[in-house]
Structure 1
Amino acid sequence: MYFFEDFAPGDVFELGTVSVTMDQIIEFSETYDPQPFHVDPELALASPFEGLIASGWQTASLFMRRYVDGLLADSACVGSPGVDEIRYHRPVRPGDVLHARVRVLGSSPSFGRSDTGIVKPMCELVDEEGRLVFSMILHSIFERRLTREPVMPMSIDPVHPARSA
């Protein structure tokens, strides 16, 4: 089980691989990003990409699945306040096999919440040739091992504000 204290700058977590198929690209894109170069192999040939490519949102989702399966499922992660700098460095194509990893850039205790801290990993997908295809800087909230109390949403007692959590 990973807690806030288990992450230090420079730590790298290898999260495994994911294969991308044409059917997956088309199915995702027909539902969420139906641009011709994502849903129609023939029209995609005439696009600047010269072939079918995955939606950037699908690429981010592929990473996220590896992050959950490879790390978060065995952690005390309780959410995220956001993401910075999403980048799509290279198109993802049918047949690509992508490797996911996170590299910890830093961490800090949560402001006003002594029971959690925020870990800031650089998230990456690389292709079989080691070329970066996707990156983002994520902010993940983890419970602190020292408290071991469940993280509960903050509430305000409207009658007695001083008694609020």
Structure 2
Amino acid sequence: MAATLGLDSRYVIGAEHVIPAVLADADEMVEFARKFDPQAIHLSDAAAREAGFAGLVASGWYVCSLFMRQFVSSIINDSSALVSPGVESIRWLNPLIAGVELSGVAKVSKVLPSFSVPGGSIVTFDVELGSVSEPPVKIATLSMHCLFGRNRKD
């Protein structure tokens, strides 16, 4: 128990979690861009192609929202996770084009005790996101922290 700071074995250093594939839907991408990132390459396939891209480009923030949805529902939803106290880094490496599926891996890289939540832990996940295609294209990397309360089973 001490090695995991009260967490279950899914959140020990080195544990890897698959981010399930999700489709970058063109209509959803445009709707998101209209509200939050209204740049031409995110709003129009034609504008994206004129700019030299293979098609409509997802906002990097849309990519992050796809990741977060999959991360919460498949990795931390049934855990003692409370909040995310921050993101250390985000890098968008290649564009996510409409119609491409996004997937990835979240690897636990650090586990530290929480000073604000008694018995809690801060878990750092290093995430790689890429296309589900051959060959796969790396889309983004990020490093984020999650605050976990004491394991519910304790």
In the superposition, the TM-score normalised over structure 1's length comes to 0.81
In structure 1, the residue matched to 2:7 is 4
- For 2:150 and 2:138, the matched residues in 1 are separated by 32
- For 1:31 and 1:114, the matched residues in 2 are separated by 39
Q: How does 1:30-49 map to 2 (within 5 A)?
A: 30-49=34-53
The code of the aligned residue for 2:42 comes to: H
The alpha-carbon distance between structure 1 residues 147 and 97, as it changes in their structure 2 partners (threshold 3 A), is: closer
Alpha carbon RMSD of aligned pairs, Å? 1.9
Aligned length: 146
Answering whether residue 57 of structure 2 is matched by residue 53 of structure 1, we say yes
* Structure (1 or 2) with the larger CA radius of gyration: 1
Contiguous gaps of at least 5 residues in structure 1: 149-165
In terms of mean alpha carbon deviation, does 138-147 or 33-42 score higher?
138-147
Q: Pick the aligned partner of 2:100 from 81, 96, 103.
A: 96
In structure 1, the residue matched to 2:142 is 136
Contact 2:23–2:102 (CA<8 Å) still a contact in 1?
A: yes
The code of the aligned residue for 2:7 comes to: F
Deviation at 1:110, TM superposition (A): 0.8
The code of the aligned residue for 1:135 comes to: T
Contact 1:107–1:119 (CA<8 Å) still a contact in 2?
A: yes
3-state SS of paired residue (2:77): helix
Q: How does 1:1-165 map to 2 (within 5 A)?
A: 4-6=7-9, 7-49=11-53, 51-128=55-132, 129-145=135-151, 148=154
Deviation at 1:146, TM superposition (A): 8.3
- For 1:146 and 1:22, the matched residues in 2 are separated by 39
In the superposition, the TM-score normalised over structure 2's length comes to 0.86
Deviation at 1:39, TM superposition (A): 0.2
Contact 2:103–2:130 (CA<8 Å) still a contact in 1?
A: yes
Deviation at 1:121, TM superposition (A): 0.5
Q: Which stretches of structure 1, 4 residues or more, deviate above 4 A after TM superposition?
A: none
In structure 1, the residue matched to 2:3 is none
3-state SS of paired residue (1:113): coil
The code of the aligned residue for 1:138 comes to: M
